[in-house]
Amino acid sequence: MAVLITAGLLLFLFESLIPRPLPWAKPGFSQMVTLIALYLWGWREAVTVVAARVSLAALIAGSFAGPAFWIALPSGICAALIMAGCRAVAGERLSIIGISMIGALTHNLVQLVAAWLLLVQQPQIFYLFPLLWLPAIVTGILVGWLAHASLTLLHRVSPSWGTNRA
């Protein structure tokens, strides 16, 4: 898990260097490690990876316990839990790309709810849904594809990687 948390941190830092066409539109590359943890080990490990990654990233960015932290943490945890639930219910009928898209949409929905509760407290904030969800679908597809490719490579290099929970 430490490798995935570190990879997530590096992806977060890399992502912060990428110019954004819209202030809220991030690719969410660090969410890839959450998917990998979910598919390798399960929901508990995925939530642990999210919580550690978000907390460490906030410490590095100097925003620990600030509004951005309290928006990012529940968003990541809820997205991981919803992805785990969808995977458990749908099984193999829903691909990792579909799970990733659901996670991206969930993440954005919880971000808006958290921003509404903590900062804005105006119902008009929810008018941003359409502007958030189209980029979320695109990035969800990309992140899901990258997670699938990473898992395929991991299993090709070491078929037993991720099976030892110790």
Predicted pLDDT at 104: 95
Predicted pLDDT at 166: 39
Residue at token pair 């979910």: 38
Predicted pLDDT at 130: 87
Domain architecture of the chain: domains with CATH: 2-16+28-157 (1.10.1760)
DSSP 7-30: HHHHHHHHHHHS--SSTT----TT
Predicted pLDDT at 97: 97
Predicted pLDDT at 50: 96
Predicted pLDDT at 49: 96
pLDDT more than 70, % of the chain: 93
Handedness of CA 82, 26, 48, 129 (dihedral sign): negative
Amino acid at 47: V
Q: How many CA atoms lie within 13 A of 124 on its CB side?
A: 2
Predicted pLDDT at 35: 96
Predicted pLDDT at 26: 79
Amino acid at 79: A
Q: What is the pLDDT of residues 3-21, one digit of tens each?
A: 999 999 999 888 888 887 7
The parts of the chain modelled with pLDDT lower than 50 are 165-166
